Amino acid sequence: MTMPFISEAHGAGWVEKKLKVGDLRIRYLDAGSGERTLVFIPGWTMPAEVWQEQIPYFSARGFRVVALDPRGHGETTKTELGNTCRQQAADLHAFLQELKIQHSYLVGWGAGGTVLLEYLASPETIDPDMAVFVDFIPAYLQSEDYAGVPLDQARKLLLEFQDDRAKATDGYVRALFKSGPNERLITQLSRASLKTPMAAALALYFDLVTGDRRKDLRHITVPSLFVATPENRALGEYLAKNVPRSGLEIIAGTGSAMFLEKPQAFNQALESFFGGQ
């Protein structure tokens, strides 16, 4: 299928805004209205525009839809400190408080899912009505009781980013898609990824790779959906089994960026989940 261009999506009916939250000016996309607010959190070094296929879809279905650039990402403030998933979760809490959002539906992709888990694990946050984890991994590194990523593989990616970040970023973005992605989209996502300072990107990467958050799954007490690729079916089944009131949706024929690769299937899965609870 022909994938959308980020530049074309700006005509989709959202408004770009910035909000002062603590030491940050958080940039976000805002569309629609309603009592229910759907908040999208992008993955590692990715911008809010990765949700370009979801914003108009759900804003036309009675949701207010918000997608944000987290700390250090996109056009949000870059900081030397605080580049951890836990701090991004605190930023998210403050952001929702500033916008006075009460009935939230939170969706996190990859690292955004880790931020969402940190948010749910915090005693200071207000639980969302529902939560969606997209291609979420609670622990990255391989261990005796967990089929994660070997340490050598994680180290290889880290070294590649140090040797030639632009080349490594291009490879990283291409790996997010199963089928051949549009070259213009690859270029735009790569440029957006490079807006995250190297120090911030590596700090977040270290946090993601070294953290084992399986014990924090018990903090997911709201109705939740795990959306996974066929390659991560076993992990998705593990998550759905260990989290009460949760379900699993497999989006066939996609990579991690399934919401761009097969937006119709992805959107319908979320819509069914939101409407079925």
* pLDDT value of position 6: 52
Residue 65 pLDDT > 90:
yes
* pLDDT value of position 276: 57
* pLDDT value of position 277: 55
> Model-level pTM?
0.94
Tokens of 64: 């207010």
Listed ranges 3-7, 9-13, 90-94; the one with the highest mean pLDDT: 90-94
What band does 3 get if pLDDT is binned at 50, 70 and 90? very low
User: What is the full DSSP assignment across the chain?
Assistant: -PPPPHHHHGGGS-EEEEEEETTEEEEEEEE--SSEEEEEE--TT--GGGGTTTHHHHHTTTEEEEEE--TTSTTSPP-SS--SHHHHHHHHHHHHHHTT--SEEEEEETHHHHHHHHHHH-TTSPPPSEEEEES--SB-B-BTTB--B-HHHHHHHHHHHHH-HHHHHHHHHHTT-SS---HHHHHHHHHHHTTS-HHHHHHHHHHHHH-B-GGGGGG--S-EEEEE-GGGHHHHHHHHHHSTTEEEEE-TT--S-HHHHSHHHHHHHHHHHHHH-
Q: Tokens 């819509």 sit at which residue?
A: 271
Q: Is residue 60 one of the residues assigned to a domain?
A: yes
Q: Tokens 């940050």 sit at which residue?
A: 24
Other C-beta atoms closer than 10 Å to the C-beta of 216 total 15
**Dist. CA 190–CA 167, nearest whole Å:** 9
Of residues 277 and 182, the one with the higher pLDDT is 182
Mean pLDDT value across residues 166-174: 97
Mean pLDDT value across residues 60-75: 98
Residue 214 pLDDT > 60:
yes
Residue 1 pLDDT > 60:
no
Domain with residue 35: its CATH number is 3.40.50.1820
**Residue-range definition of the domain harbouring residue 199:** 6-276
Q: Is residue 1 one of the residues assigned to a domain?
A: no
How many domains is the chain partitioned into structurally? Answer: 1
Residue 146 pLDDT > 80:
yes
CB 207 within 8 A of CB 85: yes
What band does 201 get if pLDDT is binned at 50, 70 and 90? very high
Percent of the chain, pLDDT > 70?
Answer: 95
Residue 143 pLDDT > 70:
yes
**Dist. CA 82–CA 197, nearest whole Å:** 13
What band does 264 get if pLDDT is binned at 50, 70 and 90? very high
> What CA–CA distances, in Å, run from 2 to 93, 179, 185, 261?
36, 11, 10, 9
How far from each other are the two terminal CA atoms of the chain, in whole angstroms? Answer: 32
Residue 11 pLDDT > 80:
no
Q: Is residue 134 one of the residues assigned to a domain?
A: yes
* pLDDT value of position 8: 47
Interval 148-161: pLDDT, tens: 889 999 999 999 99
Residue 5 pLDDT > 80:
no
